[in-house]
Amino acid sequence: MKLPLLAAALIGAVQLWAGDASPPTAAEAPITAANARLGRGINLGNALDGPTEGAWGVVLKAEYFRAIRAAGFDSVRLPVRWSAHADKEPPYTLDPVFAARVDWAIDQALANQLNIVVNVHHYGEMDADPDAHLERLTALWSQIAERYRNRPDAVYFELYNEPHDRFTAEKWNAAIPVLLDAVRTSNPTRPIIVGPDSWNAIRALDELRLPESDRNLIVTVHYYEPFRFTHQGASWVKESNTWPPLAWNGDEAEKAAVTEDLEKAARWGREHGRPVFVGEFGAFSKVDMKYRVNWTRHVARESRRLGLSWAYWEFCSGFGAYDPATDLWREPLKEALLGD
């Protein structure tokens, strides 16, 4: 692409996301066409990332994709537990039946003009022993990448969800180029999403090391702060049921704390020339709805102001913006996410 055309494309991306052609400020992340396309998204969590689909109460349906598009979302993020559906020994072959189910989800997204982020989710053995499992994870990505090599750029790959435990910054930074090579062999221009260690925390961004030569990367962070607010009553969080109720009224101090965190992510993106995607944020259903709405609205608005694409966690389970029992959106949450 000639330089004037590239400049025009980037200006178009800014216009798409921010509504004008003003250049980013020092606090904003750089806006690329690929990240602008992601726009406003939602996670289809607790389905294909469960031990089996349905084990955690969610089975994907075609009407879910239609509802997401009709509501006004641009993208879906699809967490996938590939590691539970592949051989344990070389060549670590993917289960074709499970892979076909992922194919179906991608087809549904594309048929509804939605971008889709396909990731590797809940590979617990990798977090516990990255040295022993890097070869297998690399083989999984070689197969995934080859399988979807002819899909349009609306299909994004996310290398790994929330590295943590023994998958330290050092181990993760060493794994990134290995995994990128596995994908780039068959997908040289595919948008790839990659985040820092420590559960994709904003505070870990300074430890993230990416290959300078690969500029078609989007950096993801996850945001659940303050954690004692967003995870009140979450059964998988030790002692959360004993925490005193915590409100989030949206006063100036509460808003400022969230804004400071998101501005840190945006500044990091600006300083490193990397677009940023808030791949997860949400407040659990045990939190009073009015407080969930206040917090969700602020995170979504500030992310957009700062040039960050995002995907809410999640569609129809414990954090859900959609009620699967009634097949209706929880309107206050939907409005908090998509309203002006």
Which CATH class for the 23-338 domain?
alpha beta
Averaged pLDDT of the chain? 93
pLDDT-based confidence at residue 215 (cuts at 50, 70, 90): very high
Mean pLDDT, rounded, for 232-237: 95
pLDDT at 227: 97
pLDDT tens per residue across span 145-171: 999 999 999 999 999 999 999 999 999
Which pLDDT belongs to residue 24?
55
Task: Give me the pLDDT at residue 17, please.
Answer: 43
pLDDT band at 27 (very low <50, low <70, confident <90, very high): low
User: Average pLDDT for residues 288-314, to the nearest whole number?
Assistant: 98
* Per-residue pLDDT reduced to its tens digit, 45-58: 999 999 999 999 99
Is residue 261 a contact partner of residue 278, using CB atoms and an 8 Å limit? no
Per-residue pLDDT tens digits for 98-118: 999 999 999 999 999 999 999
CA distances 215 to 145, 198, 219, 251, Å, are: 18, 23, 11, 39
pLDDT of residue 109: 99
Q: Is it the case that residue 37 has pLDDT exceeding 90? A: yes
- In the prediction, which pLDDT does 23 show? 52
| Residue predicted with more confidence, 219 or 3 | 219
Tens digit of each residue's pLDDT (9 = 90 or more) over 177-192: 999 999 999 999 999 9
